[in-house]
Amino acid sequence: MASKVIRVGLIGAGGNTRSRHIPGFKAQEGVEIVCVANRTPESAKKVADEFGVKRVAANWTDVLADDGVDAVCIGTWPYMHEELLTAALKAGKHVLCEARMAMNVVEARRMLKESRRHPALTAQIVPAPHTLAFDKTIVGMIGSGYIGELITLDARVTVTSDFPKSESPVHWRHDRVLSGNNIMGMGIWYEAMMRWVGQASTVQAVGQSVVAHRTDKSGARVAMTIPDHVDILSRMEQGGQMRFSFSTVLGLAPMQAEASIFGTEGTICLRQDKAGKMSLWSGKRGDSDLKEVAIDPAKRGGWRVEEEFINAIRGREPVTHTDLATGVKYMEWTDAVTLALRSGNAVRLPLAEA
């Protein structure tokens, strides 16, 4: 497919698909979005009309049965990801699958195994996007010895957080049937932190559902089984440890996010202020305070998911953000958090395969 037009079918067209994937595909030369299937034909038609997609498919099986589709973009919630990715690969389609990768690591491992049965097909998971502009700089600083040896990564994330609102509406992220073991946006931050300091080797966690009940569309009161506040402790494979707090129920938090990497010789701190602006700060032994780091434009990353996917299909570059093996690693950690919450015990990684 080095020169031919790559024809993309959309399965699920939620917010991320409309705001990122469709514009991203349209920006690529030699790429055409040829059909879309959504939860209802009406919502699919609305997307098709808005973005000039030629055909509305009756359902997702219709997309996969279409010989005129070379690649699919899966934009559904996690409960559909394994079934859709597996079916797409078996149908001979390249696959870009929305994050989080799966409901749990069992599904994620099966997805990885299926992808390895089809080495000629590209399979990619949409990456955690929020730190892309800073990742190369952080990795470069750590790799050059800036922090010395890692002591701890200390992170608190309260993006979209506010004082608890009793009886607030149920979102799909609150529903374990739709989202599995994925808790809030916890996994995307761990994926980013893996880029900086590698994987955890143990996980301990405590959490709570501060908002114990929410109201569904029918007006029914639904008990919450996914926490809205968690505190996680981990030992890291490279040495050192991590303390990670994630919450959507903390009012007047001073920052939306702050992740500090403390080492024996230096400190690196990524901050996201209340307005959403992200900046990088650092300091060495002997400094009186942290100073803001000027990011070299050549090292400033950004969103290029659709470009990387298409380039991988054409054989021009490998998938880096995010390959399925990396997705399995963050899903394994996600499962370990759930196991630790339920048992109260430390969980060792890697998890044994069932």
pLDDT of residue 126: 98
d(CA 109, CA 193): 21
Starting at the earlier edge strand, list the strands of the sheet with 241-247: 291-292, 278-284, 266-272, 257-263, 150-157, 241-247, 229-235, 202-208, 347-348
Calculated CA dihedral for residues 30, 99, 270, 240, nearest 10 degrees: -130
Reported as type and span, the H/E element at residue 330 is: helix 324-343
The 3-state DSSP class for residue 43 equals helix
pLDDT of residue 70: 98
| Residue whose C-alpha is closest to residue 186's, from 234, 238, 223, 139 | 234
The 3-state DSSP class for residue 58 equals coil
pLDDT of residue 3: 63
For the chain of 354 residues, list the mean pLDDT of each consecutive stretch of 10: 86 95 97 97 96 96 98 98 98 98 98 98 97 98 98 97 90 94 96 98 98 91 95 98 98 97 98 97 98 97 97 98 98 98 97 88
Strand partners, 244: 155, 232
pLDDT of residue 1: 61
Peptide bond into 100 cis (omega under 30): yes
pLDDT of residue 217: 87
**Phi–psi pair at 127, nearest 5 degrees:** -85, 165
**Phi–psi pair at 188, nearest 5 degrees:** -70, -30
| Domains by residue range for the chain, with CATH | 6-127+304-320 (3.40.50.720), 132-302 (3.30.360.10)
pLDDT of residue 195: 98
d(CA 284, CA 287): 6
pLDDT of residue 64: 98
